[in-house]
Structure 1
Amino acid sequence: MSEIKLREYENFHIVLWLLKDTCWLMEWRLEGIFMIVPTIAAAFHITWLGRKNTANLFHNLAVSSWICGNAVWMIGEFFFNDSFRSFAKVFFSIGVVFLAVYYFGVLPKEKRARR
């Protein structure tokens, strides 16, 4: 996939994410649950496509984790009296860990190797 096509795909993914979150905000349960599938599928597909670039890989893993946490939180609010929030925090934390590993481990090594 060309860089331009990938960027268009990433932009479309943002549309999916915003639609999912809009359904959540409007309390449209069926539509919100439906939007989880294409939103997460696109996030994982973008992660797979960007896997050869370390920065893209780690950032997309963080985004994928974030969206999974977001979906778990939404399901918890819709159907389980918001009792899934602690599970959502796990996914959000995993996303932060991906970014921390990249910025405090991988990136400094890459910078040293370029010198």
Structure 2
Amino acid sequence: MENMHILFWLIKDISWCMVWKPLGLLMILPTLGIAVVICWRTRTIKSELAHNLAIVFWITANSYWMISEFMGFDTLLIGHTIEGKHLAIVPFLIGLLILAYYYLVQKPREENQEQVSTL
């Protein structure tokens, strides 16, 4: 399933690069859908879940950015200097925050628990 996920992701991004709008938009669903399924399957392994959730948010941000370009609102000003494509920063940051939490909080806890259990 992970290999198929990569194939769909590559097709989506190639479609974006080549401005093949229908195929690019169509590939969002299987790419994101498989990423969510992978998260569900790894939900009991905290390290895997954190990284797979970050991927879900990465694909979400990436897909939003592609849509903004395809639909022509990527350069539309939303604020003083914020363009439509800049809203992709929200899911990118969510993914980054998930990984930051894992590496700064969860992983040290796990390592501490391992040290305590070996004593």
Q: Do the structures match in fold with TM over 0.5?
A: yes
% identity of equivalent residues: 42
Which residue does the alignment assign to 1:105? 105
Match of 2:30 in 1: 38
The superposition leaves residues 24-80 of structure 1 with CA deviations (integer Å, 9 ceiling, x where unpaired) of: 000000000000010000010100111010001100000000000000000000103
CA distance in 1, matches of 2:91, 2:29: 17
- Which of the two has higher C-alpha Rg? 2
Q: CA deviation at 1:97?
A: 0.4
Query: TM-score, normalising length from structure 2?
Result: 0.87
Contact 2:73 2:85 in 1 (8 A): no
The amino acid that maps onto 1:43 is A
Q: Distance in 2 between matches of 1:11 and 1:81?
A: 32
Write 1 or 2 for the structure with the bigger share of helix: 1
Q: TM-score, normalised by structure 1?
A: 0.90
- The match for 2:79 is none
Structure 2 residues not aligned, in runs of 5+: 76-83
Deviation at 1:81? 3.4
The equivalences for 1:1-115 within 5 A come to 9-83=1-75, 84-115=84-115
Q: How many angstroms does 1:11 deviate by?
A: 1.7
Equivalent-residue separation in structure 1 for 2:73 and 2:61 (angstroms): 16
By how many angstroms is 1:87 displaced? 1.8
Q: Give the letter for the 1:53 counterpart.
A: I
The amino acid of 1:114's aligned partner reads E
What is the CA–CA distance in structure 2 between the aligned matches of 1:39 and 1:67, rounded to whole Å?
8
Structure 1 outlier segments of 4+, above 4 Å = none
Query: Structure 1 regions of 5+ residues with no counterpart?
Result: 1-8
For the aligned residue pairs, the C-alpha RMSD in angstroms reads 0.9
Q: How many residue pairs get matched? A: 107
